[in-house]
């Protein structure tokens, strides 16, 4: 058993050496545009359809970028990647969108390492949303990294990072009141109707588009406006029928869109088309018509404003509508930020452990091999030696030693140097 104790003494001696911080293994980069600096038209130029996002990921794969994800919503288009050269990501974004380098330099942002990490957590938890506490974004992020995983451009490290973001989002939702009240783009559209339209319960309302925002808007319409004149239209009728069946609403075919526009007092457009789906050529009514465009890029053409009876409100204007809960939500931000800091610390601990785990495991295996040799020698000298008890004791010591080594490396100021010291002292080859 003297071999075990000798190893223990060597570990103790190692602790007297100067140690270091973990080299930054997470070379995270983020490029994007958002509502903070880019207006609707500019965001629309960098908006990416699902098909285009897939093409971008394929191009990244060809460039040997092993971990990358992209998401594009009404408020932002962003690319995250384990990539040290962020300019490569800017090139990819510009190549697969209608935007160019000149425009990106004015309205875009490039974040790396810690700044990119913190930004990802703030986006994923709704702290960076146009409407504070909007948790729709985390579902969108999930879809983005699931898509990347299916396309084999999401390695375990990146997946662990995104799972940490999901964890932070869940904790904030459960442990704070930052999502309390009803504040979202879909609700803001309904709130606008309630505030500016007289007798909204008697108006003919046409909801065009049954994506995520469209479905949420539909639910808010039913919840807040007692109206029997709500018509749903979607390019795929089945999706509209599913929503209509839930609330006993009216469904019309896509071909009926011009007719229903003529009947409508209020049109809510929540389609995901890359080009406008509503233009003045479809509008043939002299009655006042409110058009709410919840789409990015714009799905209501600017030429509708040529008509004197049309009021068009876009998503950016709706987002300025604040609910009375906004002030209460703001009070919860420090709690949310504390949770984010805790989850990031946990992720960094995992990241740090990941860097030296092979060395600690190799040390443990070496000690176990030495243990077997020592026990075999002792058994020759002492045939009546109780090997089970001796093995139990030595395994206990080995585990305590490896735990102590791991803890010391984790808490050191220079992880890389600490790991190298362990490797040198115990002749463990570096990998």
Reported as a single tens digit per residue, the pLDDT across 190-246 is 989 998 999 999 999 999 999 988 999 999 899 889 888 999 999 999 999 999 988
Tell me which H or E stretch contains 166.
helix 156-175
- Domain 185-319 coded CATH 3.40.50.720: yes
Least confident window among 15-29, 58-72, 247-261, 287-301: 15-29
Please give the Cα distance from 65 to 92 (Å, whole number). 11
- Residue 366 φ then ψ, to 5°: -65, -45
Beta carbons within 10 angstroms of residue 93's beta carbon: 24
Class of domain 28-175: alpha beta
Residues counted in the chain: 431
- Residue 74 φ then ψ, to 5°: -65, -25
pLDDT digits (tens, 9 = 90+) for 20-49: 333 345 689 999 999 999 998 899 999 999
Least confident window among 100-109, 289-298, 317-326, 387-396: 317-326
Q: pLDDT band for position 366 (50/70/90)?
A: confident
Active site residues: 74
Mean pLDDT for 148-157 is 93
Q: Is the pLDDT of residue 85 over 50?
A: yes
Q: What is the predicted pLDDT for the residue at 142?
A: 94
Least confident window among 175-184, 310-319, 347-356: 175-184
Domain boundaries, the chain: 28-175, 185-319, 357-425
Buried b (16+ CB within 10 A) or exposed e, 226-259: ebebbbbbbbebebbeebbeeeebebbeeeebee
Q: What is the predicted pLDDT for the residue at 177?
A: 86
> DSSP characters for 341-371?
HHHHHHHHHHHHHHHHHHHHHHHHHHHHHHH
């Amino acid at each position: 058993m003297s071999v075990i104790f000798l190893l223990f003494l060597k570990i103790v001696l190692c602790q007297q050496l100067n140690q270091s911080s973990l080299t930054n293994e997470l070379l995270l980069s983020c490029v994007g545009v958002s509502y903070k600096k880019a207006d609707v038209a500019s965001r629309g130029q960098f908006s990416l359809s699902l098909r285009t996002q897939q093409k971008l990921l394929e191009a990244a794969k060809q460039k040997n970028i092993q971990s990358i994800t992209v998401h594009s919503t009404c408020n932002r288009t962003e690319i995250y990647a384990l990539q040290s050269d962020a300019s490569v990501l800017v090139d990819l974004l510009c190549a697969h969108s209608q935007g160019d380098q000149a425009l990106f330099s004015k309205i875009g942002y490039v974040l790396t390492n810690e700044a990119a990490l913190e930004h990802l957590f703030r986006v994923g938890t709704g702290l960076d949303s146009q409407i504070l506490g909007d948790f729709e974004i985390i579902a969108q992020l999930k879809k983005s990294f699931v898509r990347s995983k299916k396309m084999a451009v999401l390695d375990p490290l990146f997946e662990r990072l995104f799972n940490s973001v999901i964890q932070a989002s869940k904790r904030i939702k459960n442990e704070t009141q930052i999502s309390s009240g009803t504040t979202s783009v879909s609700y803001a559209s309904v709130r606008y109707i309630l505030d500016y339209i007289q007798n909204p319960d008697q108006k003919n309302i046409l909801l065009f588009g049954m994506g995520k925002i469209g479905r949420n808007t539909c639910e808010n319409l039913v919840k807040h406006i007692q109206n029997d004149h709500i018509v749903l239209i979607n390019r795929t009728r089945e999706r509209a029928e599913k929503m209509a069946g839930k609330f006993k609403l009216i469904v019309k075919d896509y071909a009926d869109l011009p007719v229903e526009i003529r009947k409508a007092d209020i049109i809510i457009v929540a389609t995901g088309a890359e080009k406008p789906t509503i233009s003045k050529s479809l509008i043939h009514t002299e009655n006042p018509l409110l058009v709410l465009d919840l789409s990015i890029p714009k799905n209501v053409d600017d030429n509708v404003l040529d008509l004197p009876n049309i009021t068009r409100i876009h998503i950016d204007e709706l987002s300025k509508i604040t609910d009375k809960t906004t002030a209460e939500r703001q009070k919860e931000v420090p709690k949310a930020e504390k949770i984010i800091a805790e989850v990031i610390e946990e992720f960094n601990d995992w990241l740090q452990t990941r860097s030296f785990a092979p060395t600690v495991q190799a040390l443990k295996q070496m000690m176990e091999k030495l243990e077997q040799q020592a026990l075999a020698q002792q058994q020759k000298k002492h045939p009546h030696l109780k090997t089970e008890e001796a093995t139990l004791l030595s395994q206990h010591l080995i585990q305590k030693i490896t735990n102590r080594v791991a803890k010391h490396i984790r808490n050191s100021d220079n992880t890389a140097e600490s790991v190298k010291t362990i490797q040198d002292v115990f002749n463990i080859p570096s990998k």
